[in-house]
A = this chain, B = another copy of it.
Amino acid sequence: MKKLRKKVYIAAGFNTVSMGTGRSEFNPKKERPGLEYYIETAGKGTLAQVNDADNIDEGVIGNFMAARFNKQANLPGFIPYIDKKLEWKPAISVEGACGSGGLALVTGLKSVLAETADSVLVLGVEVQNTMKALYGADVLAGAGWYKKRKEGHAFFFPGQFSNRAGAYYEKYGKEYAREGMKRWFVNAMENARLCETAQEYENKAPDLYALYDKFKLNGETFVDNLTVLDCSKVSDGASALIMASEEGLGKLGIDKKDAIEIVGWAQVERNITNEPPNPTEVTTIKKAAHEALESAGITIDELATIETHDCFSIAGILGVEALGFAEPGKGAQFVTDGHTARDGKIPINTTGGLIGWGHPTGATGVHQAVTIWEQLTGKAGPAQIEINPDRPYGMTINMGGDDVTVIAMVYKKAE
């Protein structure tokens, strides 16, 4: 059922600056505008790239927890706040925890496939810096089965992935695993420094390997098997793009050279009330990635670049294994060897990913697609990688909760 009945394109991506916790090691403190600012900025930044907002047929917002971070729901009502010309048109908001942005992509895709829209403004947003990180961790615990939260760490999600990291250490060796996680962190920082909207753009640490080593595992002050450098950040941000049919691109005055095409996709859901079937495997990601590749009719060897959901460094490594780049247990080695670096075999998270660019939860899935759009159309600026014409495809993998809600998409430059 995952065959696309018509061509669907992505263009006109825009990211706000991803604002983070402003940890003093890296970042200066910054101002904290509200939810409205981010929606408006990402929306207007996208609409500025089309001839007339009146030619947009629908709007979608992906968001996870504005209800608690901002006490705001009825988010579709902010689509016409972006531009008057979007008023009285359809709008919707979608949720699947940190996979909300990916679900926004799916929703835009379906509107175009359903022919209820020729073009859709697809936006993801999260503004989390409205409370202290520890209280925010309670909010984010709503991405798991909240009833069970007391069985986890106070920092619930770091606790979940700390457990996964612990299982990986035990099975494959701790030193070995942490070498891979260190390199994952270093790649993330190096890539983020090339992207001016990234949270770690201003990270000036002279030796990233030494920085990583400075943070010791300490279960008394944080979770057992991760340090804060293994974690994505508490972020505020929004990303947006246009999804359109061929007719939609024409009406919006978008040249195909500025667009990518969605050539495959998958959406896979795991029962949130169950434990993951295997702590050292991201089973849902594995299924979604393979379904998406099958839907596109390609293999991993044809991928130029991937944006994968590294909410934690261990999730990045498990993702590499789930995709099939390395056997179970060999993912850390694959990363340590530099194969996922920007000049490696398969550049991953070329603008920093969730650890480097930031993780405004509901926006992340959209941000991933914007990055792939930038890379495949040559718009990534200093973060641009070279695209080998024999490997022309890009891929995004967006996850909500502990491998519960997963959306994978495959793209190529529009022809």
Using CB atoms and an 8 Å cutoff, list the residues of chain A in contact with chain B. Answer: 1-3, 5, 34, 36, 57, 59, 63-65, 67-68, 70-81, 84, 86-97, 99, 103, 106-107, 109-111, 113-118, 138, 141-147, 267-273, 284, 287, 400-401, 404-405
B74 adjacent to A142 (CB under 8 Å): yes
B114 adjacent to A74 (CB under 8 Å): no
Q: Which residues of chain B are near A109, meaning CB under 8 Å?
A: 114
Q: Shortest distance in angstroms between A27's beta carbon and chain B's nearest beta carbon?
A: 27
Of the residues B72, B75, B92, B269, contact of A77 by C-beta under 8 Å: B269
Q: Which residues of chain B are near A70, meaning CB under 8 Å?
A: 146
Taking chain A's interface residues, is the majority helix, strand, or loop, or is none over half, making it mixed? Answer: mixed
With both beta carbons as reference points, the residue of chain B lying nearest to A71 in the complex is identified as B146
Task: Knowing A88-B268, A90-B268, say if A96 contacts B114 (CB, 8 Å).
Answer: no
Bound state CA distance, A287 and B88, in angstroms? 8
B73 adjacent to A116 (CB under 8 Å): no
Bound state CA distance, A111 and B103, in angstroms? 13
Q: Which residues of chain B are near A93, meaning CB under 8 Å?
A: 94-96, 103
A80 adjacent to B5 (CB under 8 Å): no
A106 adjacent to B94 (CB under 8 Å): no
B78 adjacent to A272 (CB under 8 Å): yes
A74 adjacent to B117 (CB under 8 Å): no
With both beta carbons as reference points, the residue of chain B lying nearest to A91 in the complex is identified as B269
Bound state CA distance, A96 and B78, in angstroms? 11
A74 adjacent to B144 (CB under 8 Å): yes
Q: Shortest distance in angstroms between A106's beta carbon and chain B's nearest beta carbon?
A: 7
Give the number of copies in the complex.
2
Task: Knowing A87-B270, A269-B91, A270-B88, say if A73 contacts B1 (CB, 8 Å).
Answer: no
Of the residues B3, B71, B110, contact of A110 by C-beta under 8 Å: B110
Of the residues B5, B111, B147, contact of A115 by C-beta under 8 Å: B5
With both beta carbons as reference points, the residue of chain B lying nearest to A111 in the complex is identified as B110
Bound state CA distance, A336 and B49, in angstroms? 53
Q: Which 5 A-B pairs have the closest CB atoms?
A: A77-B272, A113-B114, A67-B67, A90-B267, A74-B97
Task: Knowing A67-B142, A142-B71, A272-B77, say if A1 contacts B96 (CB, 8 Å).
Answer: no
Task: Knowing A88-B287, A115-B5, A268-B90, say if A146 contacts B72 (CB, 8 Å).
Answer: yes
Could you list some 8 contacts between A and B, CB below 8 A?
Answer: A72-B146, A72-B147, A77-B145, A77-B270, A91-B269, A92-B107, A110-B111, A113-B113
Bound state CA distance, A70 and B149, in angstroms? 13
Q: Which residues of chain B are near A95, meaning CB under 8 Å?
A: 63, 73-76, 93-95
With both beta carbons as reference points, the residue of chain B lying nearest to A109 in the complex is identified as B114
Bound state CA distance, A78 and B401, in angstroms? 12
* Known contacts A71-B141, A110-B110, then 14 further A-B pairs from the complex at CB < 8 Å, ordered by chain A residue: A1-B57, A1-B115, A3-B115, A5-B115, A65-B67, A74-B99, A77-B273, A88-B268, A91-B96, A91-B267, A92-B94, A95-B95, A107-B107, A107-B110
Task: Knowing A5-B114, A269-B59, say if A73 contacts B77 (CB, 8 Å).
Answer: no
B77 adjacent to A401 (CB under 8 Å): yes
Q: Shortest distance in angstroms between A287's beta carbon and chain B's nearest beta carbon?
A: 6
Task: Knowing A64-B73, A113-B115, A146-B70, say if A81 contacts B272 (CB, 8 Å).
Answer: yes
A1 adjacent to B118 (CB under 8 Å): yes
Task: Knowing A81-B272, A90-B268, A96-B92, say if A401 contacts B74 (CB, 8 Å).
Answer: yes
Bound state CA distance, A141 and B63, in angstroms? 18
Of the residues B75, B78, B116, contact of A1 by C-beta under 8 Å: B116
A269 adjacent to B89 (CB under 8 Å): yes
Q: Which residues of chain B are near A57, meaning CB under 8 Å?
A: 1
Q: Shortest distance in angstroms between A179's beta carbon and chain B's nearest beta carbon?
A: 32
With both beta carbons as reference points, the residue of chain B lying nearest to A142 in the complex is identified as B73
B400 adjacent to A74 (CB under 8 Å): yes
With both beta carbons as reference points, the residue of chain B lying nearest to A74 in the complex is identified as B97
